[in-house]
Amino acid sequence: MRERIGWIGLGRLGAPMAANLLESGYEVVVYNRSREKAEPLVQNGAQIAESPAGTVEKGGIVVSVLWDSDATESIVTPEFLKRMEGGIHICMCTGSPEAARRLTKLHAEHGSAYIEAPVFGRAEAAAARQLAIPYAGSQAAKERVKPVLTALGGQTLFDTGEAMGIPTVIKQFGNFLIISAGRSLEEGLAVVEKEGADPFAAMEFLTQTLFPAPIYRNYGRMLAEKKGSLRSSPIPAKDLGLFNERAQEHDLPNPITRMLLQLSSQ
């Protein structure tokens, strides 16, 4: 049996990631606002905590996979921090660099470490352990959590150093590119189909030649099969808004971000 992991958040990504830890032999104690989402994990050996702080074991590791920085900061209560002494909190939300720095300082003041580790990947990628994770924190903490990040589904881990906020900026930049690609694919495939061309053939040609990246292959296939659209998700507007804030803070022109943000709000 490996070490005990506290887990907070069982959404589309959190649930399969926590399941991966159980399958890898970790003891997992979970908390989720909707208790029923934890039941499948309990059937596979997880324990349920009655509060976020209840997932914490002194000196242990806690993983939070929540919507944003506000949700994450709301669980970091005095009780949570007291229990975290000597432990490590791995935060996997897409939030703000400022919040990552605040939380790092707050944890350090209470004798614990904070790892910033936002996630690239959809739910199916999480289940297949094919996530990409940029992460930052103290060297000692990173060395301890690296096996955990791998076990929860991190196929590609990218250590950005000890400066906090960098993984979050990379995640926001990546999501900006994903949303740009997704919107372009959706618009282009609509034209291709109206002209009578086979959208699958068009995507096969383009992803085998000019655009072999996974984002074009995966989203292109999904859109050609009409199995989804970025327009149905609240994530684009949220993440573009965060990226837009970064640009505005530095007085940078960002016409593409603003255009995509406007489209995402329609």
Question: Using N-to-C axis directions, what is the helix angle for 255-264 and 235-249, rounded to 10°?
Answer: 150
**Catalytically annotated residue among 171, 194, 227, 238:** 171
Place of tokens 């400022």: 98
Question: CA nearest 132: which of 167, 177, 184?
Answer: 167
Enumerate long-range contacts of 231-235, CB under 8 Å, 24 or more apart. 231/186, 231/264, 235/175
Contact 59, 4 (CB under 8 A): no
C-alpha distances in angstroms, 227 versus 56, 125, 175, 204?
Answer: 39, 16, 20, 17
Active site residue 82: no
Contact 27, 55 (CB under 8 A): no
The 3-state secondary structure of 17-81, one letter per residue: HHHHHHHCCCEEEEECCCHHHHHHHHHCCCEECCCHHHHCCCCCEEEECCCCHHHHHHHCCHHHH
Residues near 108 by beta carbon (within 8 Å), at least 6 away in sequence: 114
Task: Give catalytic residue positions.
Answer: 171
